[in-house]
Homo-oligomer: A and B are copies of this chain.
Amino acid sequence: MSAGSLQNFFEPQGVVVVGARRSFGFGYGIPLFLQKQGWGNRLYLVNSAGGQVHGQNVYKRVRDVSSPVDLAIVIVPAEAVPGVMEEIGERGIRSVIIETAGFAEIGKRGMALQERVKAIAMQYRMRVIGPNCVGVVNTENKFCSVELIEESLAPGPLSIIAQSGVFGNILLDHLPQYGLSISKAVTLGNRLDVDESDVLDYLDRDPMTQVIMMYLEGATNGRRLMQSLAHVTQKKPVLILKSGRTEAGKRATASHTGSMSGEDNIYRAAFAQAGAIRAESLSQLIDLARVFATQPLLKGNRLGIITTSGSLGALATDVAVSSGLTVPPLSSFMVTQAREISPNWMNVKNPLDTGPSGIYGKLLPMLLADPGIDMVLAIMVIPYVAVRHFKSVGMTARDWFGDIASIRERYPDKPLLGVVVGHPAFVEDITSLCGRSMPIFTSPELAAQALATLWSYSKTRKKSGDRRSDIS
């Protein structure tokens, strides 16, 4: 089947929820959530017990639903799934999300059950997401096969592919605090049918998706995954966090979503070859998502650093330079301009240590405008005792560092990250001063590393762009 057939999962005409019920659980929560999101008139509930749930009539069998339906969400106990799948197949529904757990991930018996379900799916030519998952999220039409908090439903540029339901959920909970929003999310579970490559191909063509985050335990088909990745990364960055790097880690994933993780070094090389970006930790995955979702691609690798702390500037320089960036001298025009307004003790160079000069807000735009600089790291630290003094005489972070959010807007073509460490109240002041289109880090090294990764991907895109123009 073509990947295009995933459309029903994200934009169904009508949805059957098999296993709707009146007591607490997915069968209770999902129908209620879909009603609240405006899907009540395209939602049909099924439970062999019949009755009513959330004021809607409950059909006893799938075949009793006469309205147009093209997607089924299955939440019945594992043993009941084969029977329900037969009903769904007979009713002519070709897209199914099986959320129920208790299949391949629990061992032999579950594996056999999963094989039975797979045979039924093939017989009826159904596409299946799951089992052992929470299915899909589409923030544009608010169609979700999982309950979410309101903050997670704002549409945005990020899409998520995760094998584990909890993993997808916690990313959706975690990202809004940075102002990051999601377009689509899919949790794949045991991947009886639909796998990460199918979803990548779908997201490749999804106009709302700009950046893809992926949590993978192992590929169902390594060769196909690399093909899909190589294709999509020419248009959209794909950030991958993969577990199962060690034998012990592999054993942990096997009992979790029944995945075989494969040799880690093969994945590492293949991801690099396909232009995908591998995150080394969950926090790095999130850091990179924050940068890729908000910053433009890089045209070169020349980093300008402006800082109130020489130490933090040096730490950032070390990591930048060892990761493929340069921290070049400032252009002579910039130096002349900066010297005019700088006190004598200030060394006008890169990194630009402004110390307590108070002209940070004037120097930052100069640095962004410097034609010899492709991106800027702005390190903002002041001892809190000084911050308190300034506050007591009515000065704010803006007086000290400038109106950073608008400076950022004036130079949209150059990536700009911030670093702030110190008292939580100061960190909060600076975070709000910088606005939502400038990711703030608490470690200069991690910020420099993220910029180096952005450069590394920008190069890949540049190359594939060159190739495309060679062909045309």
Contacts and interface: CB of A to CB of B under 8 A. Distances in A.
A65 interface: no
A275 interface: no
A293 to B, nearest CB: 18
A70 interface: no
A374 to B, nearest CB: 16
Contacts of A217: 311, 314
Given A101-B345, A255-B310, A315-B243, A422 B170 contact: yes
A242 to B, nearest CB: 9
B280 A445 contact: yes
Contact of A314 (B253, B309, B443): B253
A169 B383 contact: yes
A397 interface: no
A-B pairs, top 3 by smallest CB distance, nearest first, are A256-B310, A283-B443, A249-B318
Interface stretch (A89-97, A347-355, A364-372, A406-414): A347-355
| Chain copies in complex | 2
A244 interface: yes
B318 A173 contact: no
A264 to B, nearest CB: 8
B311 A173 contact: no
A174 B283 CA distance: 20
Contacts of A389: 24, 29
A269 interface: no
Interface of A: 24, 29, 101-102, 106, 147-149, 151, 162-164, 166-167, 169-170, 172-174, 177, 215, 217, 241, 243-249, 252-253, 255-257, 280-284, 308-315, 317-322, 326-327, 345, 347, 349, 351, 353, 381-385, 388-389, 421-424, 426, 442-446
A270 to B, nearest CB: 18
12 contacts: A102-B345, A147-B383, A166-B311, A169-B385, A177-B423, A243-B317, A243-B318, A246-B318, A253-B311, A281-B319, A282-B442, A283-B446
Best-buried of A312, A317, A322, A327 by chain B (most CB within 10 Å): A317
Given A166-B382, A243-B314, 5 more contacts: A244-B318, A249-B317, A252-B327, A256-B311, A281-B444
A170 B282 contact: no
Contact of A311 (B151, B215, B248): B215
A412 to B, nearest CB: 27
A11 B235 CA distance: 64
A291 to B, nearest CB: 16
Given A256-B310, A282-B443, A321 B246 contact: yes
A248 B317 contact: yes
B244 A314 contact: yes
Task: Name the residue among A102, A389, A421 with the largest chain B CB count within 10 angstroms.
Answer: A421
A224 to B, nearest CB: 22
Contacts of A102: 345
A283 B327 CA distance: 22
A113 to B, nearest CB: 13
Given A149-B384, A424-B177, A253 B166 contact: no
